Chain A
Amino acid sequence: MGEAAEKLAAGDRFSSAKVSIETQLAVERFLYRQAEILDEKRWDEWLTLFAEDGHYWMPVSEDQEDGEGVPNIFWENLDMMTMRIRRNNHPQAHSQAPENRLCHVVSNVIVESEDPNGDVVVRSRFHCAEYLRYDIRNFTGKYRHYLKKTAEGYRIALQRVDLVNREGPYEYVIQWWL
């Protein structure tokens, strides 16, 4: 198990840390900015949100503690994310014709823990509408981010995304991260 997955597994996902207003605001701004980057498809910026060994993770079940070595809906590092960006933007990516659009609302932001070095674990909820093939489908679920504090601001060591409908069936493939 990687260090980031261990961190989330060891944390209490019902706890709430007494953080400063500044920390709360900085964390919220980070989450909102990530959602905006995704909705606006600013892919170069998307990649800078993650730590070098960071992962985006969507498990198949709530009790899963690690993305390594088990089936997942998403389990992607920077190499895989780069591949996905290039593939979806390739001229022959016919499943992106028409191009899909995402629109997120992120809320219920609770900082779960804050380390002395400023790293935080934060929970939130999201709702995301996807416009695809002239039709809308909806995704909703919870985020759990392990954010590392760096000189340039927070970087995602691990983002866990638990969909409410994780068992599916899915009407179509999820082509972008949610």
Chain B
Amino acid sequence: MTWSESEIAALVEPDRVHRKAYVDPEIFDLEMERIFERLWIYIGHESQVKNPGDYYLARVGRQPMMMTRDWNGEINVLYNRCPHRGAQICSARKGNAGKLFRCSYHAWMFELDGRLESVPGAKGYEGTRFDMSSPDFHIRKAPRADNYRGFWFASLAEDGPDLKTHLGRAGLALDQLVDRSPDGEIEVVGDCFHMIQQSNWKLFLENQIDASHPGATHESTGAAARSVENEMKKDGKQPPMSYGFLSDFVRHGIDGWDKFGTTGLPQGHCTLEGYMGLRPDDPDTNEYVERMYASYGEEKAEEILGVDLHHVLLYPCNSVQPPLQQLRTIRPIGPDRTLSEIWHFRLKGAPEAIYQRSLAYYYLVNSPSTMVNADDLFNWWKCQHGLESNAIEWVSFHRNAGQDTEEGGIMYSAPSSMSELPMRSMMHAWRDYMTANGAGA
């Protein structure tokens, strides 16, 4: 079928969403066109391309893109496609192109900002419509590329709100990633982890800010971590703080997650309040706080450290965990297939122990051997299969529906609830992007 705008709009009700939003291939194509190839999509951090010639590939919707640093030190976001016969310019995920890009097929040469530098056999083009100076023969640039504090995004739409407007209040997530560094600077650690989710991209986003799932989904991991912690204590050993990241899952039980509020922003961004208590009174933390005081002054440092957010979703593609310097990006491949890139940053100027703490989280939660996401990915896969069934047409987001409150354009979850507000909020934004309301977004 071809989806009309009213048919798409009818998939989203105030408290439930039709399963076809997750499984229909045509809906997926429309999402790529109207959401991923229109909104601001994360490309990468500037520290991934430190030197001239460095490049890094990133998929935006269905488009193969790359971030490059040119000889003026500027960052460019280009389509990874030769204007001649269509070959990819770069095939490795990352690397350094040297002085110029050279297409491997016929040796067309390009500047690092995409301008055509030379073609072999130039004589043969005389008298043809080929024109060195025409953008048709340059590596095409993303219509819009911009960065927010070193995080680069591209929008494949010529018009629309600028990056800062799109991020709005959710830009706080990226501010937090940078401001938590006593030097006000961060850099990526190594390469990212790449995981395939055999499920729809929206299931990932919904899970990230779902406070009602950890106690149930991660019970086995929480229980195992707690039993090891208890045994270590009995043997007079101090369990690493990171084990507590896991035993938290059982400490709060299944119902005890109503202490952590959620918000929804009009652009589809969402937040979930922190629960991990990352500011213990220990020498490492205290030294870190002292360095923050020295850099920012006590008042400003406390303002930065006082923000306690577990996850911030930057719709439609990022999940950011500011207190632990992690950032995940999703790159949808099909309705039931999503690539995730999981990045980790180092706070410059922070004590090594603070880095080690976030590294431990990166390992336990985000590595390819994680005992935590193993359960999540499995659930999403099960959801994807369940949603293929037409036995029940709707996905329920009824918890605390109608009890959300609004202030200054932000939706807040009902107090002491594990409200499904973020899911409702995201899907309402989805409906607007997918229909006429979103045409200008």
Contact = CB atoms under 8 A, between A and B. Distances in A.
B363 interface: yes
Interface in A116-165: 133
B369 A173 contact: yes
B2 to A, nearest CB: 33
Interface string A47-79: 000000000001011000000011111110001
Contacts of A133: 381
B371 A58 contact: no
Interface stretch (B221-229, B285-293, B390-398): B221-229
Interface in A79-124: 79, 82-84, 86-88, 90-95
Given A71-B193, A72-B363, A58 B369 contact: yes
A3 interface: no
Contacts of B190: 60-61, 70-71
B374 A173 contact: yes
Q: Which of A83, A84, A88, A93 has the most chain B CB atoms inside 10 A of its CB?
A: A83
B260 interface: no
Contact of A174 (B221, B243, B368): B368
A169 B194 contact: yes
Contacts of B47: none
Contacts of B223: 86-87, 90, 92
Contacts of A72: 363, 367
A16 interface: no
Contacts of A75: 363
Q: Name B's interface SS.
A: helix
A94 B383 CA distance: 13
A153 B50 CA distance: 50
B189 A71 contact: yes
Interface size class of A (residues with CB under 8 A): 20 to 34
Interface size class of B (residues with CB under 8 A): 35 or more
A74 B41 CA distance: 31
Given A71-B344, A95-B378, A174-B369, A169 B196 contact: yes
A67 to B, nearest CB: 10
Given A167-B194, A171-B196, A83 B371 contact: yes
Interface string B210-242: 000000010111011101100010000001000
Contacts of B298: none
A88 B224 CA distance: 9
Nearest to B190: A71
Contacts of A2: none
A15 interface: no
Contact of A79 (B228, B246, B369, B379): B228
Given A94-B379, A168-B194, 11 more contacts: A61-B190, A71-B189, A79-B228, A83-B224, A83-B225, A94-B217, A94-B220, A168-B368, A169-B195, A172-B378, A173-B368
28 contacts: A61-B190, A69-B356, A69-B359, A70-B359, A71-B190, A71-B359, A72-B363, A72-B367, A73-B368, A83-B228, A86-B223, A86-B228, A87-B223, A90-B219, A90-B223, A90-B224, A92-B219, A94-B217, A94-B379, A95-B375, A95-B378, A167-B93, A167-B191, A169-B194, A169-B196, A172-B198, A172-B374, A175-B371
Interface of A: 58, 60-61, 69-75, 79, 82-84, 86-88, 90-95, 133, 167-175
- Minimum-distance CB pairs A-B, first 6: A90-B220, A169-B194, A87-B224, A168-B194, A86-B224, A173-B374
Interface of B: 93, 189-191, 193-196, 198, 217, 219-221, 223-225, 227-228, 232, 239, 243, 246, 339, 344, 352, 356, 359, 362-363, 367-371, 373-375, 377-379, 381
